Structure 1
Amino acid sequence: MFGKNNTTSHEKVDTLIGKNSKFEGKLNADGTVRIDGEFVGNISVKGDVILGEEGKMVGDISASNVIVSGSVEGNITAENQLKLNASGKVIGDIHVTSLVVEDQAIFEGKCAMKNVAASDNISKLNPKKQEA
């Protein structure tokens, strides 16, 4: 989804919650999910989550890549990249491999970043730590 210049392909959206829609519950999906309305609940996606400028999310997000242009109150786990656009607001903890934050984006919470290559090297250097 992210190219060399960190742009996204909005061409293929598998699930769309429109700006005049409100959804409450749990969403599990493959592919790309775009939210331009309101979502209350948890999202678990094997693909990507895009939260539009008017999108509002209350709950946790787990996905490959996450782009936030609206507001999220909850925790975000992005296996690859989390991008907070200038209009984006996240209140909650994040767990990511890569984080991009534009000027004027708002983030309140804790950030845990993992580096897959560094984690593998540390495990090889300190095998006792894995046993604990």
Structure 2
Amino acid sequence: MSKLFKGIDIAPSSAFVDNNPPRPKGAVTIIAYGTNISNSVIDSECDLRIDGNFDGKIMTKGKLVLGEKCVAKGVFYCQSAEISGKAEGDIYVQSLTSLKNTGVFVGEIKTVDLCVDKGARIDGNIKFITEESYAKTMGSPVVKSKEDDSESEYSQPQLYN
């Protein structure tokens, strides 16, 4: 035991160490413009913003933001995504994917919901999925409430019968 304060004994104890702290609210990891990351895997509990160059795999339980100057290539898994820069690869999104007017995406987008601003560019495939099929992709246990997987290719909606 060590005496740090007069009359108080403080001993190191694993009982006070939380090996799995909760995801900090508002915490954001930022990869700044001018930073280059290659052949990497990022596994994060918090939101992630990339303004530099990234090549690899990203898995975040938070929001993924690819800023206007971002150039990203790889496989991306996230709760939600906002793309303002250039990205190439496959992205799997649990809720909303938002492609901003400066955003360019080349590859496959699998998402529950999609918003594309005027001026944004997509060259590839879009597949709308359910949250349950996203959980399957991530290897999480899923309770099936429907008979089908509800994963379907995007098609132009029928306006008239």
Q: TM-score range by the shorter chain?
A: 0.7 to 0.9
Aligned length: 112
Partner of 1:42: 57
Partner of 1:104: 119
Tell me the amino acid that sits aligned with residue 34 of structure 1: R
Matched, 1:57 2:72: yes
Contact 2:108 2:126 survives alignment (8 Å): yes
Alpha-carbon offset, residue 20 of structure 1 = 1.1
Q: What TM-score do you get using the length of structure 1 for normalisation?
A: 0.78
Which one has a bigger Cα radius of gyration? 2
Unaligned 5+ residue runs, structure 2?
A: 1-24, 133-143, 149-161
Rounded Cα–Cα distance in structure 1 between residues aligned with 2:124 and 2:66: 18
Tell me the amino acid that sits aligned with residue 60 of structure 1: V
Q: In angstroms, what is the RMSD of aligned CA positions?
A: 1.9
Partner of 1:17: 31
Higher helix share: 1
Unaligned 5+ residue runs, structure 1?
A: 1-10, 127-132
Alpha-carbon offset, residue 60 of structure 1 = 1.0
| Aligned sequence identity (%) | 25
Between 1 and 2, higher relative CO (CA 8 Å, sep ≥ 6) is seen in 1
Using a 3 Å threshold, how does the CA distance of structure 1 residues 55 and 108 change in structure 2: closer, same or farther?
Answer: same
Contact 1:13 1:34 survives alignment (8 Å): no
Matches within 5 A, 1:22-37: 22-24=36-38, 25-37=40-52
Runs of 4+ deviating beyond 3 Å: none
Q: What TM-score do you get using the length of structure 2 for normalisation?
A: 0.65
